[in-house]
Structure 1
Amino acid sequence: MPEVDIGEVLNEDDRADIFQPTEQMNIFDSNRQQLSHTEQKATWKSFAAPLTSRAGAVVEEPDLVEMVVAIIGVYSEHHGENGMTFAQIRETLLRHGVTISPTAINARLEHLHAEGFLESYLPKVYQGKYVIKPAGLVGALAAQRVVEHGGIDEMVLLLDRTRAALQMDHPDPRRVLNHLQTCRFTLTVFARDLQRCVATGTSAELITTGRQHDHSGYTQQVADLNALVTSRFAGVYELEDAGAALIEAEQFYRAQVRAAIGKVLAQGGASLNFDVLTPREYEDAAITSSLDALAAVGAHLVADAPEIVIDVSLMINALDHYRPRSKHRIRPPEPPAGAHDPDPIAAVEQAAREAKRRRRLGLEALLGGRSEADLTEAMKTSWPAALQILTDAMALDSDKDEPFVLTIDEHLLVDREAPVTYLHPARLIRTDVMPESLESKIDQLNTTDGGDRD
């Protein structure tokens, strides 16, 4: 199937909106787009690292942080003027759909009170009503915001603070310089993190990371800020250099954002990965894009096959003419035997006859025309010779059609200097030419062994 690059149907504005973050939802909306739980915990750990004194102090469950944000909404909607009790907070949270158990909510409220997030309305013991300190409110919202956009909002806030410092009637040069350097440091850190993701991350990771970077209008804000520095501090080279360095940092950051977009479009778009855009962006494309642009993508999409329409008359006609196949199978005729085709069974029989003839000739050579021969001396020459002699003699001794009998003595001969270091004496007897005395001796041996040989 031909590949379609999703980037081909996107104009420049669409490309810039690929990583656009979603808008802020209601404080009780649990469906807003955030990082995964694992990424949230990692983000909070790095976010709270400057404030903690030991490892493991950050919560492991993101729901506990979401509950604190929900407490802010509960408190702001409460109409009482003297604060809320723990029971009122707990019941209101449960009504708003918080899924944490009441026991866990109570434990969390006790912790928030001990840490100063919740403060008694009156400084009395067992007063029982609590209010939220504004500093705790800011911390909770910052913790929520950092997992929604990965802290990218801080760059915009830093620019606003720098602009506010420059627009004062008598701006402080040191304060402005500090703000400019902080903006540059922040841009550089975000740019290098994005550069690492482009070099090592997958398309899915880049999509998740890239959506946190709100790059719309950021370049213009930096340029306007630099122009403001030049107009307010003309001739102050230290501040002008800081403004120019901020522009360079923003250009480096912009290059990494474009590299991330390019990699996502190159890999995700060419492979028809529909995770490149969010459902909202697909909905916007369906509403605002032209038919030609949509057709360029939809022309090569794999869709479900259409339903098969069966005509009833054709089905009846097919059933009328259907005849089941016969279950009786006929064996095909045997191929005619060729004049030169080898017979495998005859070949095996011929090989057996040749082996039997070879063994008989070998044993007759050892007998040398006699009816009896001692095989011990011949077996002493080498191990292969001993093995061959015993094998041939045993094979012909077990064959009823052959007139050979093999007898092996129980005595063991040992000679560590000889080629065959140990063996039993063996004799070969030919029964068709032996005298009567030897025949009676063989019958006696067979009787002693327990019967006739088969």
Structure 2
Amino acid sequence: MPDTTASADKPQIDHRPAQTDLFNSHREQLSGSERRATWKAFAAPLTSQAGAVVENPDLVEMAVAVIGVFSEHHSDHGMTFAQIREGLRSHGVDLAPGVIETRLGHLHTEGFLEPYLSKLHQGRYVIRPAGLVGALAAQRVAEHGGIDEMVLLLDRTRAALQTANPDPRRVLNHLHTCRFTLTVFAKDLQRCVATGTSAELITLGRQHDHSGYTQQVVDLNSLITSRFDGIYELEDAGAALIDAEQFYRAQVRAAIGKVLAHGGASLNFDVLTPREYEDAAIDSTPDLLAEVGTHLLADAPEVVIDINAMIRVLDDYRPRPKDRSRPTEPPRGDQDPDPIAAIERATAETRRRRRLGLEALLAGRTEADLTSVMQTSWPAAVHILTDAMALDADRSEPFVLDIDQTLLIDSEAPVTYLHPARLIRTDCAPPATGAMTEHAQSDRNDGDV
């Protein structure tokens, strides 16, 4: 509750323009159904039948406007219905004339508008003070959900304690009423925290924004202890009031925590009002303000196209040719590697190594039996066969590998099984005889075909 204590200094008036929250105003953020539900609960102890509460919130606003009309009228003998209707129009009430007339008749019937003189058909009316309080209370209850009544209860309890001879029974009743009220609000908050949406919790958080309420309860309990020391019933009631306030404050914190958790996760800017954002922009440091936009996602700005600039660009545009031209070859330096030449050198080196290995096996002869050499080990057999088959497949090399179909098996030898193989060199004069040589040469010629 804001501090209304008078100050000796001249109060400072904030001349900044009035700010409305993200729902346009604290009152307008409540839908008509929410306000009607609040008014129905508020009026339930006073009504005798269902449906007595108005369905259109504008009719309640009209009653408040009637109060403003009377406050601006300077007649000493009340106002007529015609004067009230004219004043309502000047206050911006745009209800239909029939609706206004019906509503004024209802306010007169229910005693809100009381005849200036207790005579029939005298036609001039004043506002009964109780009706004025009811209209203002309806607005306050709709805006704050009845939270102001808790503060009023504390003030009444404090006033009862500060009398010269406080009545213990009266003080005890006030304490019980305060505790009951706190418990009811706390239970409602607990339910909303469990089932309510973020928007509902934001509204509740603003309604329950009474930062000094805890201190008022503590001060009240201290006053009870000092005035009624030794009366345990009152002391117990004061302690129970503190427990109820702590339970209520825990639910308020839970509601705020849920709003902050959901609002931070969903980047919901409705958590704060525009005035709070403005104060943060003025009072906070640049580092704190920078943290606000750390995880924000923003749409790219719209592309603004200048028609005249677009026409100039089209006039100067020249389409690219469809034919692709090969880029110029960069100048080659002395140290630039040639990957193709490197591959060719590696191939030639491998071929030379294989030729030297096979020539060593031939030892100057045109033919050599490779069987005994391959029987020394499996790696040797694989190496010899690989080199011989590679050079046999190369037509530029004069080597032919002849593998017999006979299978030699020796479980005691390093190479347990293999086929007999012969290596033949064809660039030398062939021997006079030798069926194996003629057979190998025939295979070589078939391969050329």
Which residue of 1 is the match for residue 108 of structure 2? 113
Q: Residue 310 of structure 1: CA displacement?
A: 9.3
What secondary structure, in the 3-state scheme, does the structure 1 residue paired with 2:207 have?
coil
**Aligned partner of 2:92: which letter?**
G
Matched, 1:49 2:44: yes
Do 1:155 and 1:187's aligned partners in 2 also have CA atoms closer than 8 Å?
Answer: yes
**Aligned partner of 2:229: which letter?**
A
Which residue of 2 is the match for residue 220 of structure 1? 215
Pick one of 127, 136, 153 that aligns with 2:122. Answer: 127
What secondary structure, in the 3-state scheme, does the structure 1 residue paired with 2:88 have?
helix
Pick one of 308, 319, 327 that aligns with 1:322. Answer: 319
**Aligned partner of 2:208: which letter?**
H
What secondary structure, in the 3-state scheme, does the structure 2 residue paired with 1:51 have?
coil
Once residues 52 and 303 of structure 2 are traced to their aligned partners in structure 1, the CA distance between those partners, rounded to angstroms, is 62
Which residue of 2 is the match for residue 238 of structure 1? 233
Q: 298-307 or 68-77: which moved more?
A: 298-307
**Aligned partner of 2:236: which letter?**
D
Matches within 5 A, 1:128-277: 128-277=123-272
Once residues 287 and 195 of structure 1 are traced to their aligned partners in structure 2, the CA distance between those partners, rounded to angstroms, is 35
Measured at CA, do residues 24 and 70 of structure 1 come closer, stay the same or move farther in structure 2, by a change above 3 Å?
Answer: farther
Which residue of 1 is the match for residue 373 of structure 2? none
Q: Residue 203 of structure 1: CA displacement?
A: 1.1
**Aligned partner of 1:213: which letter?**
H
Which residue of 1 is the match for residue 64 of structure 2? 69
Matches within 5 A, 1:434-453: none
Matched, 1:286 2:285: no
Matched, 1:300 2:295: yes
Q: Residue 60 of structure 1: CA displacement?
A: 0.3
Q: 115-124 or 204-213: which moved more?
A: 204-213
Q: Residue 306 of structure 1: CA displacement?
A: 5.1
Moved over 6 A (4+): 307-313
Once residues 31 and 87 of structure 1 are traced to their aligned partners in structure 2, the CA distance between those partners, rounded to angstroms, is 33
**Aligned partner of 2:256: which letter?**
I
Which residue of 2 is the match for residue 102 of structure 1? 97
Q: Residue 34 of structure 1: CA displacement?
A: 4.9
Do 1:70 and 1:93's aligned partners in 2 also have CA atoms closer than 8 Å?
Answer: yes
Q: Residue 269 of structure 1: CA displacement?
A: 1.4
Do 2:198 and 2:262's aligned partners in 1 also have CA atoms closer than 8 Å?
Answer: yes
Q: 165-174 or 72-81: which moved more?
A: 72-81
Once residues 180 and 240 of structure 1 are traced to their aligned partners in structure 2, the CA distance between those partners, rounded to angstroms, is 10
Measured at CA, do residues 95 and 274 of structure 1 come closer, stay the same or move farther in structure 2, by a change above 3 Å?
Answer: same
Do 1:166 and 1:229's aligned partners in 2 also have CA atoms closer than 8 Å?
Answer: yes
Measured at CA, do residues 322 and 133 of structure 1 come closer, stay the same or move farther in structure 2, by a change above 3 Å?
Answer: same
Q: Residue 283 of structure 1: CA displacement?
A: 1.7
**Aligned partner of 2:237: which letter?**
A
Measured at CA, do residues 87 and 239 of structure 1 come closer, stay the same or move farther in structure 2, by a change above 3 Å?
Answer: same
Which residue of 2 is the match for residue 350 of structure 1? none
What secondary structure, in the 3-state scheme, does the structure 1 residue paired with 2:126 have?
strand
Which residue of 1 is the match for residue 75 of structure 2? 80
Measured at CA, do residues 63 and 316 of structure 1 come closer, stay the same or move farther in structure 2, by a change above 3 Å?
Answer: closer
Q: Residue 32 of structure 1: CA displacement?
A: 4.7
Measured at CA, do residues 169 and 257 of structure 1 come closer, stay the same or move farther in structure 2, by a change above 3 Å?
Answer: same
Q: 255-264 or 73-82: which moved more?
A: 73-82
Once residues 171 and 283 of structure 1 are traced to their aligned partners in structure 2, the CA distance between those partners, rounded to angstroms, is 47
What secondary structure, in the 3-state scheme, does the structure 2 residue paired with 1:50 have?
coil
Which residue of 2 is the match for residue 59 of structure 1? 54
The TM-score normalised by the length of structure 2 is 0.63
Once residues 140 and 212 of structure 1 are traced to their aligned partners in structure 2, the CA distance between those partners, rounded to angstroms, is 19
Q: Residue 161 of structure 1: CA displacement?
A: 0.2
Q: Residue 123 of structure 1: CA displacement?
A: 0.8
Q: Residue 236 of structure 1: CA displacement?
A: 0.4
Measured at CA, do residues 306 and 138 of structure 1 come closer, stay the same or move farther in structure 2, by a change above 3 Å?
Answer: closer
Do 1:149 and 1:212's aligned partners in 2 also have CA atoms closer than 8 Å?
Answer: yes
Q: Residue 186 of structure 1: CA displacement?
A: 0.3
Q: 302-311 or 257-266: which moved more?
A: 302-311
Deviations 1:400-446 (Å, cap 9, x if unpaired)? Answer: xxxxxxxxxxxxxxxxxxxxxxxxxxxxxxxxxxxxxxxxxxxxxxx
Measured at CA, do residues 324 and 120 of structure 1 come closer, stay the same or move farther in structure 2, by a change above 3 Å?
Answer: farther
Measured at CA, do residues 106 and 317 of structure 1 come closer, stay the same or move farther in structure 2, by a change above 3 Å?
Answer: closer
Deviations 1:370-395 (Å, cap 9, x if unpaired)? Answer: xxxxxxxxxxxxxxxxxxxxxxxxxx
CA-atom RMSD, angstroms?
2.8
Deviations 1:192-237 (Å, cap 9, x if unpaired)? Answer: 0000000111111111222111221000000000000000000000
Do 2:19 and 2:275's aligned partners in 1 also have CA atoms closer than 8 Å?
Answer: no
Once residues 219 and 225 of structure 1 are traced to their aligned partners in structure 2, the CA distance between those partners, rounded to angstroms, is 10
The TM-score normalised by the length of structure 1 is 0.62
Report which of the two structures shows the higher radius of gyration computed on alpha carbons.
Answer: 2
Measured at CA, do residues 325 and 309 of structure 1 come closer, stay the same or move farther in structure 2, by a change above 3 Å?
Answer: farther
Question: Percent identity over the alignment?
Answer: 77
Q: Residue 303 of structure 1: CA displacement?
A: 3.1
Q: Residue 325 of structure 1: CA displacement?
A: 7.4
Measured at CA, do residues 324 and 246 of structure 1 come closer, stay the same or move farther in structure 2, by a change above 3 Å?
Answer: farther
Structure 1: give runs of 5+ residues left out of the alignment: 1-22, 327-454
Which residue of 1 is the match for residue 328 of structure 2? none
Once residues 292 and 44 of structure 1 are traced to their aligned partners in structure 2, the CA distance between those partners, rounded to angstroms, is 46
Q: 222-231 or 29-38: which moved more?
A: 29-38
